[in-house]
């Protein structure tokens, strides 16, 4: 494995964490950056993929799955997470839904050099305003933080976010 591969986030590692925690459903808004992860999820017989048309719908769908005894993950971008704010508040926090939100951290540069209107500037303040704890993952070395998110969501009966800071490198081959 070369240095670039070691410093990237592989979709196999992310899917491995989902399987380790018994995820039954992936509720997601399709996007181009997660195509390789999608291909792996689609081939995984233990997962049901539920595409949605709006991110707010993803949160309510996940809450319904939890009530029905399933274990979903919500897979969205940070732009859509902002759009889903009321749904996260009502369905996620209000109903005490233990769900992991895997959020593509679009615009995140690690150096904070963004235009004033870049969505990356609003992602963490948004989560903090809702009191949603989050973990940042960038490489396979960070993937165990997904386990921390699952454990915390179960323990607290609240949504927990995993911010994927390497969406433009690790998931594109």
Q: State the 10-residue block means of pLDDT for the chain, 173 residues long.
A: 64 95 95 84 96 95 98 96 96 98 88 82 96 95 97 98 74 52
In contact, 12 and 35? CB cutoff 8 Å? no
Residue 82's pLDDT is 96
The model's pTM is 0.92
The reported pLDDT for the residue numbered 168 is 45
Give start and end residues of each alpha helix (H) in 21-170: 35-43, 55-67, 78-83, 85-87, 120-130, 144-156
Assigned fold of 3-70+80-114+122-164: Rossmann fold (3.40.50)
At residue 161, the pLDDT reads 98
């Amino acid at each position: 494995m070369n240095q670039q591969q070691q410093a990237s986030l592989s979709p196999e590692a992310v899917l491995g964490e989902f399987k380790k925690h018994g995820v039954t459903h992936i509720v997601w808004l399709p996007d181009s950056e997660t195509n390789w992860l999608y291909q792996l999820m689609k081939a995984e017989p233990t997962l049901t993929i539920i595409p949605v048309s709006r991110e707010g719908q993803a949160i309510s769908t996940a809450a319904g799955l939890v009530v029905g005894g399933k274990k979903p993950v919500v897979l969205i971008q940070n732009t859509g997470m902002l759009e889903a704010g009321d749904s996260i508040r009502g369905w996620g926090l209000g109903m005490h839904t233990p769900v992991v939100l895997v959020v593509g951290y679009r615009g995140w540069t690690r150096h904070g050099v963004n235009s004033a209107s870049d969505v990356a500037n609003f992602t963490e303040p948004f989560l903090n305003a809702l009191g949603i704890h989050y973990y940042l993952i960038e490489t396979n070395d960070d993937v165990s933080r997904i386990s921390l998110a699952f454990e915390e969501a179960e323990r607290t009966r609240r949504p927990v976010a995993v911010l994927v800071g390497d969406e433009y490198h690790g998931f594109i081959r």
